Amino acid sequence: MPAASVAGRPLMVRGATVLDGSGDDGAEADVLVEGGVVSAIGPGLSAVPGSEVMDAEGLILAPGFIDMHSHSDLYTLVPSASGLRLGDDPKLLQGVTTQVFGQDGISMAPVGHGDVAEFADFVAGLDGRLDPAAWTWRTFGEYLGALRAHSTTRVAGLVGHSTIRRLVMGMEARPPRPEELEAMCAAVDQAMREGALGLSTGLVYVPAAYATTDELVALASVVARHRGRLFIHVRNESHLVLEATREALEVARRSGVHLHYSHIKTAGQANWHRVGQMLEMIDEYRRDGVVVTCDVHPYTAGSTTATVLLPPWLLEDGHEAAIRQLAAAEVRARVRSQLLTDVSSWDNWWVFSGGWEGLRLAWVADGSANAHLQGSSLREVIAKAGVTEPLSQAAFDVLFDLLAAERLQMSLISFNNTERNIARFMGQPYCSIGSDALVNPGGHPHPRLYGCFARVLSSYVREQGILSLPEAVHAMTGRAAAALGFPERGRIAVGAAADLVLFDPQVVADLATYEDPRTPPLGISRVLVGGRTVVQDGRLVGPGLGHPAEEPLSGGLGRVGA
């Protein structure tokens, strides 16, 4: 077998079991790829002259997987050693060929001309760091164009609620005035016209956390007029998860928007029993005609920016003001008190992660003096600082000192979920898969960055039997594409784009762990985007590794309703 398919050269895949993304049982067939699309499917096909013929007996051929919740927004613009992109490489190795960007209310555009440097700091803990000089875009359309010009994966982009709110009214913790709400609605409308799939919001992150339900309804109504999607990280995933879920469902009912519930969960052991009530509530609204889909990631830990450990009131005036306030003993005492006791006024990540032991430091900025702490639990960080009493003010001061030293630009891993609930959500007929993976190229990321989709196939299909193989492939392909409003994607059919993944169902497995998170999966034999091979025999194939450096692989998908 040659090292890589030549771009444009036909490929005949012989004898694979084809799971077409519909959820139907597979059948053995030959598949011919020509000119970037699937041109024929059936037994005993004849190869066209000059084609590569690949024997795939015993392997599964599926549509490329769709990552419904990606944080590769900035690093997809950064070249990697493979000759592809830092934000694409870990996903391609898993068989992902499409990513949804702009999650949790934070998109990289639109951004004000005078706000680029501060905005780059603002997003760093969640989406990584890119030099402000590299932000060549300002509008959403310009950013989407930059992504699609450089991305190896297909691109679907959401405009972020926090991004829009910051653009119009800064970080202020108040409802918008009528003219401000009108300006926010106009900005969402403009982004939709420029190609946004929809709006995302993250109601635990400032400034979106300051929004009322009425504000959400107004913005979602704009999205609904464009037949877009509202991706929502709800206001509370722990002690008030039922109330937060009801709010999200009411926003969808009142606005008419298609609601997509991001990384659905009940966080914290005290709340794991609420899963049944959540599902009953969602089913109730779905029966009443509200369109609801969701995604889940197959891990008991999540990952996010470390600013979630600060109550929203501390961030009202922005990061610089928060850093200054954290120098005051009375502020530190107040924040410690809230972290220890308050589960009603905000989503308390310290509590639902089980305290210091359930939180790990995943990333600090390149060159930081604290880089050696990456991968350590916060309990270990505190112990290394010489503090023996974990609930003391001194222990919390270690956290506050670290946050200030890193200028709030830190990422965490949070252990807060249970396998039983993950399996229950995954089994819902409206649920797809999202990695929710922060890229952190210089840090110690969550293993889902490299392992998410392989883990579904190994743990939840082969080992636990939670899903059948056709069901799992459907959740990661056809069902996900339908949730996005792209019925022509996520399938293998004559005339469909040849975004394909070939894998061994008996071998495929995630190898990335919390201790060694950058290990690629096993069993992914080949990945194609638009008929062009980007992974072969488990290894990336790009211009830097012998791949023909021709035209960029465009990530264009088109806008819902276009």
Give the CA dihedral 149, 151, 155, 161, nearest 10 degrees. -90
Would you say residue 4 has pLDDT above 60? no
Note the pLDDT of residue 73: 97
Residue 225 CB coordination number (10 Å): 14
Contacts of 359 (CB under 8 A, 6+ apart): 309, 349, 350, 353, 377, 378, 412, 413, 414, 415
- Domain-embedded: residue 554: no
Question: Do 539 and 434 share a structural domain?
Answer: no
Contacts of 104 (CB under 8 A, 6+ apart): 126, 160, 162, 200, 201, 202, 205, 233, 262
Question: Do 461 and 538 share a structural domain?
Answer: no
Question: Do 249 and 277 share a structural domain?
Answer: yes
Note the pLDDT tens digit of each residue in 208-221. Answer: 999 999 999 999 99
Q: Any idea which of 275-279, 281-285, 314-318 has the lowest mean pLDDT?
A: 314-318
pTM of the model: 0.95
Note the pLDDT of residue 552: 37
Note the pLDDT of residue 543: 66
Would you say residue 244 has pLDDT above 60? yes
Note the pLDDT tens digit of each residue in 355-384. Answer: 999 999 999 998 999 999 999 999 999 999
**What mean pLDDT is reported for the chain?**
94
For 173-198, what is the mean pLDDT? 98
- Domain-embedded: residue 551: no
Q: Which residues is 47 bridged to in the sheet?
A: none
Would you say residue 556 has pLDDT above 70? no
For 291-319, what is the mean pLDDT? 96
User: Of 365, 385, 412, which residue constitutes the final position of a domain?
Assistant: 412
Question: Do 408 and 293 share a structural domain?
Answer: no
CA distances from 295 to 96, 124, 233, 312 (A): 15, 24, 11, 26
| % residues pLDDT > 70 (the chain) | 95
For 328-338, what is the mean pLDDT? 98
- Domain-embedded: residue 2: no
Return the CATH number at 83: 3.20.20.140
Note the pLDDT of residue 47: 86
Question: Do 315 and 300 share a structural domain?
Answer: no
What is the domain range of residue 373?
311-412
Contacts of 346 (CB under 8 A, 6+ apart): 204, 209, 236, 311, 312, 338
Residue 403 identity: L
Residue 381 CB coordination number (10 Å): 20
Confidence grade of residue 531 (pLDDT, cut at 50, 70, 90) = very high
The number of distinct structural domains making up the chain is 3
- Select from 141, 200, 211, 204 the least CA-distant residue to 434: 200
Question: Do 293 and 370 share a structural domain?
Answer: no
Question: Do 211 and 275 share a structural domain?
Answer: yes
Question: Do 146 and 70 share a structural domain?
Answer: yes
- Domain-embedded: residue 539: yes
Question: Do 406 and 420 share a structural domain?
Answer: no
The token pair that represents 174 in the structure block: 């108040």
Note the pLDDT tens digit of each residue in 417-458. Answer: 999 999 999 999 999 999 999 998 889 999 999 999 999 999
| % residues pLDDT > 90 (the chain) | 91
Note the pLDDT of residue 192: 98
Contacts of 429 (CB under 8 A, 6+ apart): none
Question: Do 365 and 447 share a structural domain?
Answer: no
